[in-house]
Amino acid sequence: MSTATSRSTQLGVEPLAGAIGAIVTGVDLADLDDATVEHVRAIWLERLVVFFRDQELDDEAFLGFARRIGEPVRYPFVQGFDTHTEIIELAKLPHETGNFGGIWHSDTVYLDRPPMATMLVAREIPPYGGDTLFANMYAAYEALSPGMQRVLDGLRAVNSSALADVSKTREDRIRDSGAGADHEYVAEHPVVRTHPETGRKALYVNVAHTQRFVDMTEDESRPLLRFLFEHSVRPEFTCRFRWRVGSVALWDNRCVMHNPVNDYHGHTRAMHRISLAGDVPV
């Protein structure tokens, strides 16, 4: 048996919940061969979000892992590090009350090509709290009635970066970095998108970014959108991950929403994030 094969077969998979999420064990993300990358990617496509504990990754190694999965891209609203521009810091400090992106969402759906995936590594965590919730949007779509699925399959939605509930969570970061502060991004995407790798359909609207349906007013769109927002985060579609320093998460932004829980006031939580380039949703 080759070295590559033996490394890959050492991986363990511990599901975190029924619908979504798994902790992958037996892997060093700083030392990956092709077979292990392929195995990790297969687990990720099946479980939608995967987690790795106790990883010793500096920013160069973190970026190296990201490049094995996809193409790192810059985030439009926060300045990346000078030495690694594709990496941004998401930090809530003891004196702050709001947390970055503290609402259910898929990342940057207001872009024409939203990222296919997002990666986080925990650098500093509070003594309690600061978990992240994840939701399976395949399951959200599949649990809808056939009639509702038919209605949604023909709809497109307008997504904006300027909706108040999410834009206020990045005000401090925009002020500090000046990145994209005066620009609103708007994109139209299908309400139900087909995953380009699995072929499965996923609900693709979220309370943070979806403004209305195309060719409808916000008032007309609001009742159905409100139902979809609430339906998509039903407990049976979700998992919850508790961070430790050195924990890494990789989630599929094409079929997953997430929500960082803001329950650790007076403490620091610092994460480094990388987004991976995606395609145009269809």
**7, 39, 107, 170: the active-site residue:** 107
**What does DSSP say about strands 22-25 and 49-52: parallel, antiparallel, or unpaired?**
parallel
Predicted local distance difference test score (pLDDT) of residue 208: 95
pTM over 0.85: yes
Cα angle 232, 238, 239; round to 5:
160
Q: Per-residue pLDDT for 141 more than 50?
A: yes
At residue 27 the predicted structure's pLDDT band, cuts being 50, 70 and 90, is very high
Class of domain 3-276: alpha beta
Is residue 107 among the annotated active site residues?
yes
Strands (E), the chain: 12-15, 22-25, 49-52, 72-73, 87-92, 117-124, 132-136, 156-160, 186-190, 192-194, 201-203, 210-213, 238-241, 248-252, 256-260, 269-276
Q: Per-residue pLDDT for 174 more than 80?
A: no
Q: Per-residue pLDDT for 125 more than 90?
A: yes
Predicted local distance difference test score (pLDDT) of residue 165: 61
**7, 39, 47, 105: the active-site residue:** 105
Is residue 209 among the annotated active site residues?
no
**Segment 39-50, tens digit of pLDDT:** 999 999 999 999
**Segment 86-108, tens digit of pLDDT:** 999 999 999 999 998 899 999 99
Predicted local distance difference test score (pLDDT) of residue 101: 87
Q: Per-residue pLDDT for 172 more than 90?
A: no
| Alpha helical stretches, state H, 127-217 | 137-142, 146-153, 164-167, 171-177
Predicted local distance difference test score (pLDDT) of residue 181: 52
**Segment 188-212, tens digit of pLDDT:** 999 999 999 999 999 999 999 999 9
